[in-house]
Amino acid sequence: MTTPTIHRPIAVLNLPAQVPVLISVAKAVALAMTNNAAFPAPTPTLAALNTALVDLEVAEAAAQARTKGAIASRNQKRDALASVLEQLRAYVQSVADADRPRAAALIQSAAMNVRKVTLRAKRAFGVEQGSVSGAVTLVTASAARRASYEWEVSSDTGKTWQVLPPTLQTKTAMTGLQSGATYSFRYRSVTKAGAADWSQPLSLLVK
All domains in the chain, ordered by first residue: 5-119 (no CATH), 126-205 (2.60.40.10)
Q: Give the per-residue pLDDT at 118.
A: 57
How far apart, in Å, do the first and last CA atoms of the chain sit?
17
Q: Residue 1's pLDDT band (boundaries 50, 70, 90)?
A: very low
Amino acid identity of 150? E
- Rounded to whole angstroms, the Cα distance separating 149 from 81 reads 52
Residue 101 has pLDDT above 70, yes or no: yes
Residue 24 has pLDDT above 90, yes or no: yes
- Rounded to whole angstroms, the Cα distance separating 162 from 180 reads 19
Q: Give the per-residue pLDDT at 116.
A: 74
Quote the DSSP letter at residue 28.
H
Q: Give the per-residue pLDDT at 6.
A: 54
- Rounded to whole angstroms, the Cα distance separating 204 from 53 reads 62
- Rounded to whole angstroms, the Cα distance separating 197 from 190 reads 9
Q: Residue 32's pLDDT band (boundaries 50, 70, 90)?
A: very high
- 106 within 8 A of 91, measured Cβ to Cβ: no
Amino acid identity of 118? T
CB atoms within 10 A of CB 101: 7
Query: What mean pLDDT, rounded, does the chain reach?
Result: 91
Q: Residue 2's pLDDT band (boundaries 50, 70, 90)?
A: very low
**Average pLDDT for 170-179:** 94
More confident residue, 117 or 1: 117
Q: 3-class DSSP state for residue 203?
A: strand
pTM of model > 0.75: no
- Rounded to whole angstroms, the Cα distance separating 105 from 48 reads 24
Q: Residue 3's pLDDT band (boundaries 50, 70, 90)?
A: very low
Residue 7 has pLDDT above 90, yes or no: no
Q: Give the per-residue pLDDT at 161.
A: 95
More confident residue, 1 or 166: 166
Residues 6+ apart with CB under 8 A from 69: none
Least confident of 75-84, 123-132, 157-166, 173-182: 123-132
- Rounded to whole angstroms, the Cα distance separating 92 from 26 reads 14
